[in-house]
Amino acid sequence: MTSPAAARTLSRVVLGLTGGIAAYKAAELTRLLVKEGIAVDVVMTNAAAQFIAPMTLQALSGNPVLSGLWESGAANAMGHIELSRHADAIVVAPASADFIAKLANGHADDLLSTLCLARDCPLLIAPAMNRQMWSNAATQRNVAQLRADGVEILGPGSGDQACGEIGDGRMLEPEEIMAALLASAQPKLLAGKRVLLTAGPTVEAIDPVRAITNHSSGKMGFSLAQACAEAGANVTLVSGPTSLGTPTGVTRIDVKSAAEMAAAVDSAVPAAQIFIAVAAVADYTPAEVRASKLKKNGDRMTLALKPTADILAAVAARPKPPFCVGFAAETDDIVKNAEAKRRSKKVPLLIANRAQDAMGSEENEVTLVDERGAHPLPRMAKLALARRLVAEIASRLPR
C-alpha cells in the first residue's frame, strides 16, 4: 500500500475582487473558503467597492479588507509584496476585462495587480464580463497570454447576464471556483488518463409505478469522480438516479436500470484506461415489467426475478481491458467475501466496506484487497477517502 500523495497546502488565500456586478458572489466564496478552514485576505480594487461593501467581506473573512497600495499594513512598508508571500494561492473573482488586460501586460498600478505580479504562488482568475467583451479579440489574446504564463483561467460560464444579454462571460458560481481551487492543490497523479466510473443505485421497474432499488446515495462514486478530475484525469461518470450535482470537469451520463448502465459502460469503456465500478447495481431485475399497475388485492404476490449483467466482470473480461477497480458492499466476512469476488471477477483491486456503515453516510471505512492481501484504511470523509484511493489506484497502474 502506497503512502498518500501530498496535496499542496491551502491554509491562506488572497481573494481579489475587481469591478463587476458578479462581485456579490465573492461573499459566498469567502464563506466557503472560511468553512474549509482557509484564512482569507480580501483585496479589492476601487471599482469593486462600488458593487459590494468592504465591510461585508471583512465580517465574513474576519480580516481587514485592503484596497490601497499604501494601506497594506506591513511593518516594513512592503505590504504589496509581503501579503502574497504568506498566501498559498491568489484567486481573482471576479476578474474584469480591464484587470485581465493589466495582468497580461504586466501593469501594476494598484495593490491587487501588484500582488499578482509580486507573487510566488499560483494565480487563478475567474473572468466576469459582457459576452462581447469576452469574445473581443483583445480579451482573447490577453487570456491566451495569461494561460501561457501559467495562470489558471476558471470559466467563464454561459447564461443570462446583468446587461440582459445571454452568452459567455458569466463568472462561475462560488462552489465551482472553490472546487477548482481545491483541485489545483491536488497532485496530478492521473494526468492525461481517461477514467470511466459508475455510481449510485439502479432502479429496476416492476410496473409503471413500482420499482426495486437500494439505499446507495452515490456519494462515494461522485467523490471518486471529483478526486479523479482533480488528479488531472478525463472523467466520464455513468450515474444511476441521484440528486447529487455533477463534479466540475466531469462528463455525466444518466441511466436508470442495470441494463441501461451496462449499455452505457459498454459504449464508453473502449476509450477508458481506468474503470472504477462504484455503483450499487441491482443483482436481479423483474423477469417481466408489467405494462399497467399491479393492483393490491390482499393476497401475497410472488415476483419472478432474473439476474442482471455483471458489468465489472464483463469489462475485466474484454480482450484489452482497462485497469479495473471494483467496490464490494458486504455485511459480514468482508475481506473474505471481497477476495472471493476479486478473484471471480479477475480484477486487480477491490475496495470493500460494510454496506450498513457506508450507504447514505458522509463517511466511509474501506479495506483494499489485492493480490498482496488486505490493506485497511481508517474511517474518513468520502471526498478525503476518494483522494486517498486515487493515490492507491495510481500507484498500481501498469508502468
312 within 8 A of 324, measured Cβ to Cβ: yes
254 with 379, same domain: the answer is yes
83 with 115, same domain: the answer is yes
Residue 345: what pLDDT?
93
- Confirm whether 2 is domain-assigned: no
- Confirm whether 260 is domain-assigned: yes
| Range name among 82-86, 138-142, 206-210, 221-225 with the lowest pLDDT average | 82-86
- Confirm whether 203 is domain-assigned: yes
Percent of the chain predicted with pLDDT > 70: 94
| Range name among 72-81, 252-261, 280-289, 325-334 with the lowest pLDDT average | 72-81
168 with 203, same domain: the answer is no
Q: Tell me the C-alpha distance between 395 and 399, whole Å.
A: 9
Q: Tell me the C-alpha distance between 283 and 308, whole Å.
A: 5
| Residue 369, all three cell numbers | 484487497
Over 60: is that where the pLDDT of 76 sits?
no
Final residue before a domain boundary, out of 128, 149, 184: 184
229 with 83, same domain: the answer is no
CA dihedral 179, 125, 26, 225 (to 10 degrees): -10
| Range name among 16-30, 71-85, 316-330 with the lowest pLDDT average | 71-85
161 with 203, same domain: the answer is no
pLDDT grade for 399, boundaries at 50, 70 and 90: confident
276 with 366, same domain: the answer is yes
Over 90: is that where the pLDDT of 2 sits?
no
- Confirm whether 4 is domain-assigned: no
* Structural domain for 271, as ranges: 194-290+302-396
208 with 179, same domain: the answer is no
pTM score, whole prediction? 0.80
pLDDT grade for 261, boundaries at 50, 70 and 90: very high
Final residue before a domain boundary, out of 159, 184, 209: 184
- Confirm whether 1 is domain-assigned: no
Q: What is the mean pLDDT of residues 151-172?
A: 83
> Which CATH number does the domain housing residue 139 bear?
3.40.50.1950
- Confirm whether 101 is domain-assigned: yes
217 with 344, same domain: the answer is yes
Residue 71: what pLDDT?
61
| Range name among 104-108, 262-266, 295-299, 323-327 with the lowest pLDDT average | 295-299
142 with 73, same domain: the answer is yes
pLDDT grade for 75, boundaries at 50, 70 and 90: very low
> Which CATH number does the domain housing residue 269 bear?
3.40.50.10300
Per-residue pLDDT tens over the stretch 297-322: 878 888 899 999 999 999 999 999 99
Measured distance between the N- and C-terminal CA atoms of the chain, rounded to whole angstroms: 16
**CB-based contacts of 233, cutoff 8 Å, min separation 6:** 190, 191, 192, 193, 194, 195, 274
Over 80: is that where the pLDDT of 358 sits?
no
Q: What is the mean pLDDT of residues 257-272?
A: 97
Q: What is the mean pLDDT of residues 354-359?
A: 70
Final residue before a domain boundary, out of 151, 184, 217: 184
The size of the chain, in residues, is: 399
Options 121, 163, 228, 324, the catalytic residue: 163
CA dihedral 309, 311, 315, 318 (to 10 degrees): 0
Q: What is the mean pLDDT of residues 27-44?
A: 95
158 with 256, same domain: the answer is no
| Strands 211-212, 204-205: pairing kind | antiparallel
375 with 251, same domain: the answer is yes
The count of domains in the chain is: 2
Q: Is 324 a catalytic residue?
A: no
290 compared with 6, residue with greater pLDDT: 290
230 with 248, same domain: the answer is yes
Measured CA distances, 348 to 75, 273, 300, 370, 376 (Å): 58, 14, 44, 6, 16
